[in-house]
Amino acid sequence: MFVKEVAVQNHVGLHARPATFFIQKANEFKSSIWVEKEERRVNAKSLLGVLSLGIVGGTNIKVIADGADEQQAVEALVKLVASGFSE
């Protein structure tokens, strides 16, 4: 299992468009991937799950992966979040 924390950089957070990019990236990997905000953990490959966390700009989230490509998955998703989704 590989875990990394990242601050959401874009102002509006993980609303529909950035959440879609996040989920598309997560689905490129074979590992099971979760997003955790405070004590809630959801499947990072589920749009409704990610949106249900209500992640706004400035929020710290954890990206957690477990599987064959867990480190690559977490690093790629953290990089995407840290980039502010190019917004």
pLDDT in tens, 32-82: 999 999 999 999 999 999 999 999 999 999 999 999 999 999 999 999 999
The structural domains of the chain, with segments of one domain joined by +, span: 2-86
Beta carbons of 65 and 29 less than 8 angstroms apart: yes
pLDDT band at 11 (very low <50, low <70, confident <90, very high): confident
Catalytic residue among 6, 9, 12, 15: 15
From the options 3.40.50.12280, 3.30.1340.10, 1.20.1250.20, 3.90.320.10, give the CATH code of 2-86: 3.30.1340.10
pTM for this prediction:
0.94
Range list of H helices, the chain: 16-26, 47-52, 70-82
* Percent helix / strand / coil, the chain, rounded to 5: 40, 25, 35
pLDDT for the residue numbered 76: 97
pLDDT for the residue numbered 82: 92
Whether the per-residue pLDDT at 85 is higher than 90: the answer is no
Count other C-beta atoms under 10 Å from residue 86's C-beta. Answer: 8
Please indicate whether residue 15 is annotated as part of the active site: yes
pLDDT for the residue numbered 87: 58
